[in-house]
Structure 1
């Protein structure tokens, strides 16, 4: 009997280690492009030509990072991606804040202040999540021109807010459905109004879904290229457009280390967000999945 138990225990351990080995192998394979980018970005150009992609740098240098930030060519000018990096923050921060706040209000109104046509409005907003972005480029361009926001940071913020509201409303609506309606009813009996209930009851318990919305919106807006290249002028372009211009601009010798450094710079904010808040993203997605 003891031998049977030992064999079963050993078999369970081997199975567990096999699963871990497979998962680690898949993670390493998935991270391989990132490793190649990082190694290439700290190698001199001569070493890149002479060595392999996975070879460790013999003479590590941060010169490619400095050049990518401040000196590399983007389009017709050579000034690096630094300025465009801050352009992206000027777009992302207000767009994320506004779309998240409006999504929270919409989700609150659609679940706790029921009115005629609420389901239809939610269905139409949900339908907006599935409209291809390419379809609305021309109507949106005409709208921005009519508003006087063409080729401006404010115009890009407006575009991302409009397209983000559908997703944030979906997040908050599904989260607020799980909150008991009795809390809102009791507050109404005490004389609390629309915004007081929102600030005093709904917002204090909304931290998990706010994290989900912020991470989702931040990632989508920061990585956007289509709207950035379509609705911005040269001085208002986000970092993704500047990165594309740098990689596809030929000024003689192709500097792969500078290109990789610029790509790493462009990816750093989203990597930091996921590393610091990734676990809260999963918790927030499941926070409203069970009612009660």
Structure 2
């Protein structure tokens, strides 16, 4: 009985709990501070999407709004002049969607087939093939501009969304092949051998065994490709112009409605429109992205 009382009121245990609480409070305070510091540019941009232009010019970017209005979001989406076209960012948003979705699907599909073939179907020179494919991971995009310009011109795909789909599909195969091949290496070879003994061929093994095991790495590839292609700026700027540009290239071409005046509130709303899809993808699939990576994508 005495021992239990001493345990209940042990000053050492009480002091230890107090230190743990202080340490945890310190960690959460620091994390909250750095999170706020990291998100402050986004918060400033978001705040300026509701402020009148006169207020922004008078008081600067960093200020609490005196007046708030959502009309600048409507102007940014459907009526503001960009590059001589007064349609807002809606057209360019659609261009980016038409570019990103097919390129993501195609590059992921090619990557998962390549990864399966290079990990489970050995052939002469397979490591050389894998090395050449993944060379694109380390190749600067600037080095590919002239070859791509020549190729798109010969194919008649210059200044087109289809041309950008082709570029991003080929560029993305390097990453998706690397991810999928390293993921499939962890799949036991005995499964493939047993399927071969039962008479299954290349595509049947792929459909019946590899694809059911692939959702984690497929999510990694889709998130990686979607966000990378959506946010890409170089290829969209070099290979397209005018109404065929993606949104990342278009938002730097604000014309100020032909007056030379910078409409910071409308531009801020356009930036938020451009950032929403990748942000949505990460919010919805972020935990699956991390889970897929830890399941073997970076082994």
Query: For 1:208-247, what aligned pairs fall within 5 Å after superposition?
Result: 208-246=216-254
Instruction: Tell me how far apart the structure 2 counterparts of residues 190 and 21 of structure 1 sit (CA, whole Å).
Output: 59
**Change over 3 Å in CA distance of 1:81–1:283 after alignment to 2:** same
- CA offset at residue 249 of structure 1? 7.9
1:33 and 2:25 matched: no
Q: Which runs of 5+ in 1 are unaligned?
A: none
The alignment partner of 1:110 has SS state of helix
Q: Secondary structure at the match of 2:51?
A: coil
| CA deviation after TM superposition for structure 1 residue 235, in Å | 2.5
Instruction: Choose 1 or 2 for highest CA Rg.
Output: 2
- Of 202, 214, 236 in structure 1, the residue corresponding to residue 210 of structure 2 is 202
Moved over 6 A (4+): 247-250
> Is the 1:96–1:161 Cα contact (8 Å) retained in structure 2?
yes
Deviation sequence 1:78-122 (CA, Å, 0-9, x none): 221110100000000100000000000000001111111111111
For these two proteins, the number of residue pairs brought into alignment is 291
Stretches of structure 2 lacking an aligned partner (at least 5 in a row): 1-6
Match of 1:282 in 2: 290
Shift in Å, 1:175: 0.7
Alpha-carbon distance in 2 for matches of 1:124, 1:22: 45
* Cα pair 1:247 1:259 within 8 Å, conserved: no
- Following the alignment from structure 2 to structure 1, what is the Cα–Cα distance between the partners of residues 53 and 28? 38
Per the alignment, residue 150 of structure 1 pairs with: 158
User: When the two structures are superposed, what TM-score results if normalisation uses the length of structure 1?
Assistant: 0.95
**CA distance in 2: counterparts of 1:141 and 1:16, whole angstroms:** 55
**Residue 74 of structure 1: which of 82, 88, 94 is its match?**
82
CA apart distance, 1:248? 8.1
| Counterpart-to-counterpart distance in 1, 2:137 and 2:154 | 24
Separation (CA, whole Å) in 2 of partners of 1:248 and 1:8:
62
Which of 85, 90, 94 does residue 93 from structure 2 map onto? Answer: 85
- TM superposition score normalised by structure 2: 0.93
Q: Distance in 2 between matches of 1:158 and 1:248?
A: 33
> How many Å apart are 1:56 and its aligned residue?
3.4
Structure 1 vs Structure 2 CA RMSD:
1.8
